[in-house]
Amino acid sequence: MLRATIDAEVFKEAVDAIAALVSECRLHISAEGMRTRAVDTANVAMVSLELAPAAFEVYEASERALGIDITKLKNIIGMMNRGEKLMLSIPADSQRLNLAFQSYQYSLTLLDPNTIRKDPNAPTLELPGQVVLDGAKLTNAIKAASVVSDKIALGIDPEAKVFFMEAEGDTDNIRLELGHEELHSLTEVKARSLFSLDYLKDMAKTMGRAERIEVSIGVDHPVRFTFEIAGGAGKVIYLLAPRIEAD
Amino acid sequence: MLRATIDAEVFKEAVDAIAALVSECRLHISAEGMRTRAVDTANVAMVSLELAPAAFEVYEASERALGIDITKLKNIIGMMNRGEKLMLSIPADSQRLNLAFQSYQYSLTLLDPNTIRKDPNAPTLELPGQVVLDGAKLTNAIKAASVVSDKIALGIDPEAKVFFMEAEGDTDNIRLELGHEELHSLTEVKARSLFSLDYLKDMAKTMGRAERIEVSIGVDHPVRFTFEIAGGAGKVIYLLAPRIEAD
Amino acid sequence: MLRATIDAEVFKEAVDAIAALVSECRLHISAEGMRTRAVDTANVAMVSLELAPAAFEVYEASERALGIDITKLKNIIGMMNRGEKLMLSIPADSQRLNLAFQSYQYSLTLLDPNTIRKDPNAPTLELPGQVVLDGAKLTNAIKAASVVSDKIALGIDPEAKVFFMEAEGDTDNIRLELGHEELHSLTEVKARSLFSLDYLKDMAKTMGRAERIEVSIGVDHPVRFTFEIAGGAGKVIYLLAPRIEAD
């Protein structure tokens, strides 16, 4: 059972964050809120999302795992306007998610959760490098790197006390260094790993709206991006595996 | 002979309404104004347009049928700006339509009207269901339905006293209900017919600008959309044949 | 050696002017500023550009010919914002051009100038017709002509005392006449030549921003467009060969 009302823009942000990586997901609803964790088909990136009841104006749910066609949901939410109310409901035992907004009634058949990949385990990671910065700064760097290459190195130089991003093309390269004055915080430990820009560009669309993003990195380790949505009532974690440096 | 001056935006609206369905048309000019009626190549949709002399600042015409390349006319009008004056002229016996705006002189060779399909007869239709609503509401519903399907049902539920639109996809469906308070008027008779969204999307581009659209429907019958352009000095009628319900 | 600081928008304007015709160029730097001259691969159009030290906030350079990948430079400059400072530098004997803006460091490997086409000679041309007009008027005419044809005639009618542009399609044509009151100046001599709109459309993107463009034309001769950039500290000349009139 689900009965919830939420600002369309807030729900859109949550759905977009998932849609950046997967086209369907297993959404767990319960009295504690909604959560999902999913890996992309290539097993390179993971998204984990939590939305507390506080993100909703009305929220009532009994425990259940829902199979959601994220792509369809994203299309339908694309029709709503900022500030509009969205009502979500699933009667007990129903196989349909109902969305009501304005005078529209939209009904989406739920997927069988057993046909969707099992929830991945969150890997245990030692990521000693921690940087907190504006989402816009991070996504601008990702865009800039895309102009010269298809991969980007993220790292921390503890001597120079900077968080750096670096991309190399055939005949050109770009480097961005952000010191303490341009960051919210920085732990000064050596870190550097290389990542595919394809994934980062998809994630960047959602991360660009976040006021603060926590970036956790190591040496040739995955990167973890953590940020809030829904005015703090929701949390998104992206995890991205590193690429092998080929030079 | 034709000698006319009109606001570029008003003429654009008229040309766009025709261009939504056909690429060339037979335009009848006379002292009473301009009018055309044309069906699309598949014989599924018809547009009928009238523009009274009051739509023009200057208007003088002797009776004649003109063959117009609507696509070319639309392209050239696309260059004009809102508020600009457009002068139209055809000297007696000339085979060219001259358009003057700003310092430009544009000359379009008229098509031989005999090479264009004969004016279709307006079919006699019994369409007892009548709904009047904002153009924007109608076109939003058409857009929403396009997200889930390629066809839409339009109807009236006399018990619920609503005008409804309904579209069904493979696993999802959307329904919009508008009651008296969201409509300008509604006749409470049973009606429901299914239509192709391809045609409706083309018509919607023009209908979205209209303040009021009169929708006339029946049971498995065509739909007729009637709306004013040129501040009331022009009228457009779209007629669209129903699709067979295949379930 | 090069050490220069310039407004990103000003440098972008200069790079765009070159990029309209060629994808790489030989850029000559010296204490007198920067200059380049290049012809397109088909030998139909030439661009010549000069940027005086006054266009820069800081400018210091020793004489050298640089091989520049204009397309890459254009992409990277596309990331900068209006009003941002761009620092350009090449250490003595270095084969890399460094661009610094915000916290970014971008480094572009220079091309070997010997692999780039020799600087073309500026042809000696007798172009008695001279017209000075707003860049926006010129580019609007180029856009309007593109709707009906792929070539345009530019000319002066000394009797009517107008600068005219004319394009002919299969069944339609467009003509623009600008008299003294719409021009900054006009020499009343007979002139008319036909040009490819493909080239003019590329040039128009840059010329549209110029307040005044000097157009020099003759009878079946090339056209020369001259305009200032960088608030008067830079000058661009486009030269375009005429097309043969095929009727």
Give the CATH number for residue B46: 3.70.10.10
The residue range of the domain holding B141 is 129-240
- The two tokens of residue A138 are 């991070």
User: Which residues make beta-bridge pairs with B52?
Assistant: none
Question: Is the pLDDT score of B97 beyond 80?
Answer: yes
Assigned token pair, B178: 């508008």
CA distance C42 to C127: 23
Predicted confidence at residue B247, as pLDDT, reads 54
Q: Do C133 and C110 share a structural domain?
A: no
Q: In the predicted model, what is the mean pLDDT of residues B76-80? A: 88
Please, which residues have CB within 8 angstroms of residue A93's CB and are 6 or more apart in sequence?
none
Q: Would you call B172 and A109 a contact, using CB atoms and an 8 Å cutoff?
A: yes
Quote the CA–CA distance of A236 and A219 in Å, as a whole number.
Answer: 23
The 10 Å Cβ neighbour count of residue C14 is 23
CA dihedral for A176, A179, A185, A191, sign (positive or negative):
positive
What does DSSP say about strands B223-229 and C33-39: parallel, antiparallel, or unpaired?
A: unpaired
- Residues A24, A108, single domain; the answer is yes
Q: Which chains touch A (3 or more CB pairs under 8 A)?
A: B, C
Q: Are residues B22 and B60 in the same domain?
A: yes
What pLDDT sits at residue A247? Answer: 54
**Structure confidence at residue A62 (pLDDT):** 96
Sign of the torsion formed by the C-alpha atoms of A8, A9, A14 and A17: positive
Q: Do B171 and A109 touch (CB under 8 A)?
A: yes
Contact C68, C97 (CB under 8 A): yes
Residues C88 and C149 in one domain: no
Q: In this structure, is residue B62 part of a structural domain?
A: yes
Are B69 and B173 in the same domain? no
The per-residue pLDDT for C247 is 54
The answer as to whether B122 is a domain residue is: no
Average pLDDT over residues B36-64: 97
Same-domain check for residues C137 and C206: yes
Inter-chain touch A176–C105, beta carbons under 8 Å: yes
In the predicted model, what is the mean pLDDT of residues B137-143?
94
Residue C176 lies in a domain: yes
| Residue A118 counted as domain residue | no
The pLDDT value given to residue C46:
97
Q: Is residue B247 part of a domain?
A: no
How many domains is chain A partitioned into structurally? 2
Task: Name beta bridge partners: A154.
Answer: A165, A193
What is the pLDDT, as a whole number, of residue C158? Answer: 97
The answer to whether the CB of C135 falls within 8 A of the CB of C200 is no
Q: Which residues of B touch A103 (CB under 8 A)?
A: 176-178, 182
Q: What is the DSSP string of B145-212?
A: HHHH-SEEEEEEETTTTEEEEEEE-SSEEEEEEEEGGGSSEE----EEEEEEHHHHHHHHHHHTT-S-
Residues A106-115, mean pLDDT to the nearest whole number: 94
Among the candidates B115, B150, B178, a domain finishes at: B115
Task: Examine the domain organization and report whether A175 and A199 are in the same domain.
Answer: yes
The answer, for B171 touching chain A at a CB cutoff of 8 Å, is yes
pLDDT reading at A146 higher than 70: yes
Q: Which residue of B has its CA nearest to C143?
A: B79
The answer to whether the CB of A208 falls within 8 A of the CB of A136 is: yes
Same domain, B138 and B161: yes
pLDDT score for A166: 96
Same domain, A108 and A136: no
Say how far residue A21 (Cα) sits from the centre of its chain.
8
- pLDDT computed for residue B26 by the predictor: 96
- Whether chain A has a CB inside 8 Å of the CB on B219: the answer is no
Task: Name the phi and psi angles at B2, rounded to 5.
Answer: -145, 140
Please name every residue paired with C26 in a beta bridge, in sequence order, or none if there are none.
C67
Question: Which tens digit of pLDDT belongs to each residue from B10-20?
Answer: 999 999 999 99
Q: Please compute the mean of the pLDDT values over residues A174-203 and round it to a whole number.
A: 97
Domain boundary among C85, C114, C143: C114
Instruction: Could you list the beta-strand ranges (E) of chain A.
Output: 2-7, 24-30, 33-39, 45-51, 58-61, 64-69, 85-90, 96-101, 104-109, 129-133, 151-157, 162-168, 172-179, 185-186, 191-196, 213-217, 223-229, 234-240
- Closest residue in B to C140 (Cα) is B79
Residue B246 in this model has a pLDDT that exceeds 80? no
Beta bridge partners of A50: A35, A235
Question: A245 in a domain, yes or no?
Answer: no
Output the average pLDDT for chain A. Answer: 95
Helix, strand, or coil (residue B96): strand
Measured between beta carbons, the chain A residues lying within 8 angstroms of C105 are 174-177
Average pLDDT of span A46-62: 97
Among the three residues A113, A144, A163, which one is the final residue of a domain in this structure?
A: A113
Question: Band of the pLDDT at C74, cuts 50, 70, 90?
Answer: very high
Residue A171: per-residue pLDDT: 84
Q: With pLDDT > 90 as the criterion, what percentage of chain B qualifies? A: 91
SS (H, E, C) C163-202: EEEEEECCCEEEEEEEEHHHCCEECCCCEEEEEEHHHHHH
Based on the domain organization, do B32 and B136 belong to the same domain? no
Q: List A4's β-bridge partners, or say none.
A: A59, A88
Flag whether C120 is in a domain: no
B95 with B12, same domain?
Answer: yes
- The ipTM (two decimal places) reads 0.85
Residues above pLDDT 70, as percent of chain C: 99
Of residues C72, C78, C103, nearest to A172 (C-beta): C72
Distance of CA A201 to the CA centre of its chain: 12
pLDDT of residue B104: 94
CA dist A24 and A40 (Å) reads: 10
Q: Is the pLDDT of residue C217 over 60?
A: yes
Which tokens go with A97?
């998610």
Q: Are residues B89 and B53 in the same domain?
A: yes
Is the CB of B103 less than 8 angstroms away from the CB of C148?
A: no
Average pLDDT on C92-107 reads 94
Residue A76 touches partner B, C-beta closer than 8 Å = yes
Q: Is the pLDDT of residue A245 over 80?
A: no
Specify if C119 maps to a domain.
no
